[in-house]
Amino acid sequence: MAALARISRLLLAGAPRAPLGRLMSAVAHGEAGAGRTWKILSFVVALPGVGVCMLNCYLKMQHEHERGEFVPYAHLRIRTKPFPWGDGNKTLFHNPHTNPLPTGYEEDH
């Protein structure tokens, strides 16, 4: 067993070692301009894409959303025990405009 360990150490000692980062880099595969390409793509594609998404959100917020009529379905808003906060009937992140209670909306629109 010791002889096997000595042989493996001798074989590994003679092998050239490259740093781990160098083996995983794009330069090791012959793609020296890959970093520059991704940088250009970030500025030309990603940043305008984020800007378009922000514009879309802003324009969607400009008009008022109509909420649907309340229909008291039996399988929705089942309360087997009260919530441990508040009055026990409202969820933790309750919004009176969009989240109905089991009896309907709290405020009229």
Could you read off the pLDDT of 40-85 as tens digits, one per residue? 989 999 999 999 999 999 999 998 878 888 898 888 888 889 999 9
What is 71-95 written as a DSSP string? Answer: ---TTSS--SS--SSTTSSS-TT--
Average the pLDDT over 78-95 and give the result.
89
Q: Can you read off the two tokens belonging to residue 94?
A: 């309750």
pLDDT at residue 109 is higher than 60 = no
The four Cα atoms 8, 9, 14, 20 give a dihedral, to 10 degrees, of: 100
Q: What is the pLDDT of residue 32?
A: 72
User: For position 44, what pLDDT does the model report?
Assistant: 94
Phi, psi of 101 (to 5 degrees): -85, 175
pTM: 0.43
